[in-house]
């Protein structure tokens, strides 16, 4: 069931809205950056997004898979992870709210990371009201219900006991496992896309009903589009990849004029 709790009070009309005389600033939505040191151009694009593009925003929402993998908040001892957290913390220092949702690659992002990044964790799914529109936010993997094997793994891996046992492993063991899974995932990307790895209409219809939202925004599938379905409009966020092959990336902007898909570097 989608959760809905007050976010930071903003002029954008999220729950807990205050009254402001100035025009509301937009909300920005991104996902599936898969940040790692192996993708320097993608990392540079994210740095530009935080430092320059996001300056116009009231709030930034990251809907999962911010990192290629996250094996526990002790990763903050690594220079790259610490640098990314410090970068994101500049948003809250500038009065821009940052909300982060877990993805399938980084569902172990914990309280220590959120504090270091100046971020507020969002459960998946989560419902907001922005500029008069009720919107359900999700990473998207939970709606890929045709992939039954993955759904079983998703439930298993997120069990509190399983998480606790995994985090008790030595850091090097966890890192070796994550890198092996990453190599397997990279090999899988070379295969043609299959329908079972996409969201299903039954699952998105259920999310529309449960959230009572007119709009869904999610990532995960790496198939950016705007779908007009029987229950409402579904926006799929793009993944970011600027280091290999055709460059990809972008974000959604929501303001008083509606929802727009924008390319990186457009601001």
Q: What is the model's pLDDT at position 16?
A: 39
Q: Is pLDDT at 230 greater than 70 in this prediction?
A: yes
Q: What is the model's pLDDT at position 72?
A: 96
Exposure b/e, 16-30, CB count within 10 A at least 16 = b: ebeeeeeebbbbbbb
pLDDT in tens, 128-158: 999 999 999 999 999 999 999 999 999 999 9
Q: List the structure tokens of 89.
A: 């913390």
pLDDT band, very low/low/confident/very high, at 11 (cuts 50, 70, 90): very low
Least trusted range by pLDDT, from 2-6, 177-181, 214-218: 2-6
Average pLDDT of the chain?
89
Q: What is the model's pLDDT at position 80?
A: 98
Cβ–Cβ < 8 Å for 79, 36: no
The residue that leads in pLDDT, 102 or 181, is 102
Q: Which fold has domain 27-262?
A: Purple Acid Phosphatase; chain A, domain 2 (3.60.21)
pLDDT in tens, 72-130: 999 999 999 999 999 999 999 999 999 999 999 999 999 999 999 999 999 999 999 99
* Beta-bridge partners for 121: 100
The values of phi and psi at residue 123, to 5°, are -70, 160
Give the whole-angstrom CA distance, residue 246 versus residue 236: 19
Q: What is the model's pLDDT at position 246?
A: 84
Q: Is pLDDT at 260 greater than 80 in this prediction?
A: yes
Q: What is the model's pLDDT at position 265?
A: 77
pLDDT band, very low/low/confident/very high, at 3 (cuts 50, 70, 90): low
Q: What is the model's pLDDT at position 196?
A: 76
Please state the length of the chain: 267
- Percent of all residues in the chain with a pLDDT value above 70, rounded to a whole number: 87
Helix axes 79-93, 40-51, angle to 10 degrees: 20
* Beta-bridge partners for 126: 3, 137
Q: Is pLDDT at 244 greater than 70 in this prediction?
A: yes
Q: What is the model's pLDDT at position 1?
A: 47
Q: Is pLDDT at 215 greater than 80 in this prediction?
A: yes
* Beta-bridge partners for 262: 251
């Amino acid at each position: 069931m989608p959760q809905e709790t007050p976010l930071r009070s903003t002029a954008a009309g999220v729950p807990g809205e205050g009254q402001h005389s100035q025009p509301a600033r937009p909300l920005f939505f991104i996902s599936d950056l898969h940040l790692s040191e192996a993708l320097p151009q993608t990392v540079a694009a994210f740095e530009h997004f935080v430092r320059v593009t996001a300056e116009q925003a009231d709030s930034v929402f990251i809907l999962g898979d911010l990192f290629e993998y996250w094996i526990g908040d002790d990763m903050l001892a690594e220079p790259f992870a610490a640098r990314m957290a410090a970068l994101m913390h500049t948003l809250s220092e500038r009065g821009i709210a940052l909300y982060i949702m877990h993805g399938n690659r980084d569902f172990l992002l914990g309280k220590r990371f959120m504090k270091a990044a100046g971020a507020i964790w969002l459960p998946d799914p989560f419902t907001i009201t922005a500029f008069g529109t009720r919107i359900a936010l999700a990473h998207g993997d939970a709606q890929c219900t045709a992939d039954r094997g993955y759904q079983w793994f998703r439930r298993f891996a997120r069990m509190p006991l399983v998480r606790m046992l995994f985090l008790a492993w030595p850091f090097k063991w966890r890192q070796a496992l994550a890198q092996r899974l990453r190599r397997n995932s990279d090999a899988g990307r070379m295969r043609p896309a299959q329908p079972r790895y996409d969201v299903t209409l039954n699952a998105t219809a259920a999310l529309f009903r449960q959230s009572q939202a007119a709009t869904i925004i999610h990532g995960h599938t790496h198939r950016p589009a705007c779908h007009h379905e029987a229950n409402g409009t579904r926006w799929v966020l793009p993944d970011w990849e600027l280091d290999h092959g055709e460059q990809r990336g972008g974000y959604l902007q929501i303001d008083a004029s509606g929802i727009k898909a924008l390319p990186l570097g457009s601001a």
